[in-house]
Amino acid sequence: MNKVKRIEIFSRLREDNPHPTTELNFNSSFELLISVILSAQATDKGVNKATAKLYPIANTPEGIIALGEERFKHYIKTIGLYNTKGKNIIKTCKILIEQHNSEVPDDRASLEALPGVGRKTANVVLNTAFGHPTMAVDTHIFRVSNRTKIAHGKDVVEVEKRLVRLIPDEFMMDAHHWLILLGRYICTARKPKCGACLIEDLCEFTKKVYD
């Protein structure tokens, strides 16, 4: 795909949704971090349902530590892998208190050093909480990037690096949100809704029949 097409694609996405953001509910960088950790292999809707009860009770590292691991797990038990996530979040809260004055760090190395935080989670926090022009590639963005040919790659890191290199700077801040929403609601895995897609005429996907 050439540069002209990419500019037109992201221009249309911006015009349709000028101020995109995550569908996770949060009011602080800490809440966002915890929600993103919880969202691995879970839906944003499911995470929001759990955190709606959790955050009014505990929305700081100290607050979650005060709950204790078992009580904290009670709040997130409806979320997949809640035992592992619960242990990691408790450990993360302790590190934030001991090493970062209870604040979420805004650099990749420090974020990825936190239990339960990988490259994708770090990129989401850096972009959404701190305004860094990063690209968090999940299954939706990986699929959309390869299918449309915006940026193809054999794994998420390769796709991430190509997207960062190929997406014009003016779109980088919001590109993650546009692409994830496109993949979640339009360019779906089994039955992409091509006829309802804003960029259908620019997409380089070799169309096939979906039943």
Residues with catalytic function: 120, 138
Q: How far apart are CA 153 and CA 160, in angstroms?
A: 9
- The Cα-based distances of 207 to 146, 147, 148, 195 in angstroms read 13, 10, 10, 12
Q: How far apart are CA 211 and CA 145, in angstroms?
A: 23
| Residues 6 or more apart whose Cβ sits within 8 Å of residue 17 | 177, 178, 181
Lookup: tokens for 5: 């097409």
